[in-house]
Structure 1
Amino acid sequence: MTYDIAIVGAGIAGAALAAEVAPHAKVLILEAEDVAGYHATGRSAAFWEETYGGPAVQPLTAKSRALFDAGGFLQPLGSLHIGREQERGLIEDMLAQFAGTGVDLSLVDPRERIAGLRPEWNLAVWEPSCAYIDVAALHAAVLSRAKKAGAELVLDAALTGATRTGDRWRLDTKAGSFAAKILVDAAGAWADDVAAMAGAAPIGISPFRRTLVQLRVDPPVPDDAPHVAHIGGDFYFKPEAGGRLWLSPHDEIPSDPGDVQPEELDIAIAIDRLEQAVDWRIERVERSWAGLRSFAPDRLPVYGFDDSVPGFFWCAGQGGFGIQTAPAASLVAASLLLGTEPDPLVADIDAARYEPARFR
């Protein structure tokens, strides 16, 4: 059997794209692990934050909101971007960056919103629209849509070879060999490896480790507390059920693709940075984990056909914003992949800024 489209990777990028194209083509999804979404998707503490990723990513995030709301995947959260007097310039830069974009931002005193915040943290931008994403439900929903439309998911199918003859790909995997007209690289941290296997020049998509820690603190964190991020990028934290706190040192440690684990030093750094911001007492670390975030050199996603290898399509480099942009990004990528007019929801997004040809 020859599939119209074979997608390598069943994380949020591959699964969401499969859901959009499966009604129009015969789709195969090849996943290296024994469960879909094991790596970046399954380890995400994702939240929908319109400013995250910068102004060039913001259109994808904004257009995704309606689809998230329709599916019931969001819970109100709100976000405080906090700083000290010496970081006033960063606060002003953030407001200037998003002026005219429609993002609702305002200056507030963070000490009135976060009990226990140390007095030197006197500046903040309030982003009320920030919301927590139910990542597991979202991922399950797009995979279900893809399967109902006829897409086939094969697990334990790590790609070991990709050879194009004529207008067909022969794809060798640990689960056997398959044939497809188009090969989609949605392999996340492994995107450049898959490209090289298929004879395409790697773009320079680099994976970085991100650490998360679940803490018990005293006093307990209220469930209605907002997400809080340092304007300088040194940490962020958010409430978790039962008075817990999820904390990250906002680290980006270059890493090889793989099953990454948290390092004790990064956990210690995260706690130290938290203690410099609040006077809460750390009772205990309940658990910690790490995931990979993969960025292209310009930190924008990559959607489109490779300009030197026929039938090879990129859907990668989605960094830490892949989940919050997935609904709109999959519509953009699907129109490029199928050669159709874009969905009206994303018709005003300039897809050319995300195409791989910008690196050639």
Structure 2
Amino acid sequence: MNAAEETDVIIIGGGMAGAGAAFEISHSAKVVLLERESHCGYHTTGRSAASFTENYGNGVIRRIVLASRSFLTEPPAGFSEYPLLGKRGMITVARADQIDLLREDLAAAQGLVPSIVAMTPAEAIASVPVLRAEYLAGAYIEPHSMDIDVNGLHQGYLRGARARGARIVTNAGVTAIDRQGGQWRVETRAGTFRAPMLVNAAGAWGDEVAIMAGGRPVG
């Protein structure tokens, strides 16, 4: 049996979460990222379109998004050859029976993103002609939301992680996980790896990885 490869941190999953974790953690620790497919981002990340919106989620999530804008608008040198963000305003619409909810949502949104403003139905239809006048009773727009270049962001994370010394191992589906002497031991089709810290970034397979590691699934 070949000896296990020792590292500081093992990350399971090479999608956006795993790649981002590898990029950040490899700045100060030795990282091995394990991806079960032939290349990273094969599943959800590789099939995603994404928007950068500061008007989504609870208060904590919205503040995290606000804090991330500077990284996405001005990524580190060499991170990406192309801009990661492209302008695309986002309009929220409501029926007549949803107007009170729309007003509440607008007030909450403006508390974090003052550039969000109300639109008349006519203004919304002028921007999005497929909207039906008989359906639409109110709207507001987040003018500074953006499209995210998902592949550009993902590849930038992977490229940056490698530049910082991270090792990315593909075709490395996890077959067993245990913990011995303060170390995680991860068996894969590509070999065995040991580290004191394990990051579960397996996406849709996160529960399966958690169970192998002795954790509880979160559904």
Q: Would you say same fold, with TM above 0.5?
A: yes
For the residue of structure 2 that corresponds to 1:23, the secondary structure is: coil
Aligned mate of 1:134, from 149, 161, 165 = 149
Map of 1:14 onto structure 2: 18
* Alpha carbons 2:52, 2:145 under 8 Å: kept: yes
Counterparts of 1:89 and 1:81 in 2: how far apart (Å)? Answer: 13
Task: Give me the whole-angstrom Cα distance separating, in 2, the residues matched to 1:84 and 1:170.
Answer: 55
Task: Indicate the residue corresponding to 1:158 in structure 2.
Answer: 173
Partner of 1:52: 56
- Structure 2 residue 129 is the aligned partner of structure 1 residue 118: no
* Superposed displacement of residue 92, structure 1: 1.5
- Structure 1 gap segments, 5+ residues each: 207-360
Q: Secondary structure at the match of 1:60?
A: helix
1:207-258 deviation line (CA, Å, top 9, x unaligned): xxxxxxxxxxxxxxxxxxxxxxxxxxxxxxxxxxxxxxxxxxxxxxxxxxxx
Amino acid at match of 2:145: C
- SS of the aligned residue for 1:34 comes to coil
In 2, the alpha carbon distance for the partners of 1:115 and 1:200 equals: 50
Contact 1:50/1:103 (<8 A) preserved: no
2:93 is matched with 82
* 1:186 counterpart letter in structure 2: A
Deviation at 1:24, TM superposition (A): 1.3
> For 1:147 and 1:89, how far apart are their aligned partners in 2?
50
Pairwise CA distance, 1:113: 1.8
1:27 is the counterpart of 2:31: yes
Counterpart of 1:322 in structure 2 is none
Cα pair 2:54 2:113 within 8 Å, conserved? no
Deviations, residues 165-210 of structure 1 (Å, cap 9, x unaligned)? 10212111121211112111111111121111011222x1x4xxxx
Q: Is the 8 A contact 2:23 2:160 kept in 1?
A: yes
Gaps of 5+ in 2: 76-82
TM-superposed deviation, 1:101: 1.8
Q: CA deviation at 1:99?
A: 4.2
Q: Which residue of 2 aligns with 1:68?
A: 72
| Larger displacement relative to structure 2 (143-152 or 30-39) | 30-39
- Alignment match, 1:254: none
Matched pairs, number: 204
Match of 1:187 in 2: 202
Q: Distance in 1 between matches of 2:101 and 2:53?
A: 18
- Once residues 127 and 145 of structure 1 are traced to their aligned partners in structure 2, the CA distance between those partners, rounded to angstroms, is 31
In 1, the alpha carbon distance for the partners of 2:112 and 2:131 equals: 30
Which secondary structure does the structure 2 equivalent of 1:140 belong to?
helix
- Does residue 102 (structure 1) correspond to residue 113 (structure 2)? The answer is yes
Q: Matched residues in 2 for 1:103 and 1:163: separation?
A: 49
- Partner SS, residue 98 of structure 1: helix
- State the Cα deviation string for residues 126-184 of structure 1 (Å, max 9, x = none): 10111111110110001000001000001111111111110212111121211112111
Q: Residue 44 of structure 1 aligns to which amino acid in structure 2?
A: S
Superposed CA offset, 1:1-49 (max 9, x none): 3100000011111111111111211100001111101111111110101
Higher relative contact order (CA 8 A, sep 6+): 2
SS of match in other structure, 2:111: coil
How far 1:105 sits from its partner (Å)? Answer: 1.5
In 1, the alpha carbon distance for the partners of 2:113 and 2:145 equals 14
Which deviates the most, 32-41 or 134-143? 32-41
CA deviation string 1:275-313 (max 9, x = no partner): xxxxxxxxxxxxxxxxxxxxxxxxxxxxxxxxxxxxxxx
Query: Displacement of 1:98 after TM fit?
Result: 2.6
Decide whether the 8 Å contact of 1:55 with 1:97 is kept in 2. no
Select the structure that is richer in helix: 2
- 5 Å-filtered alignment, 1:303-314, equals none
Q: Equivalent residues in 2 for 1:153-302 (5 A)?
A: 153-202=168-217, 204=218, 206=219
Partner of 1:314: none
Quote how far apart the aligned CAs of 1:114 are.
Answer: 1.8
Match of 1:41 among 33, 38, 45: 45
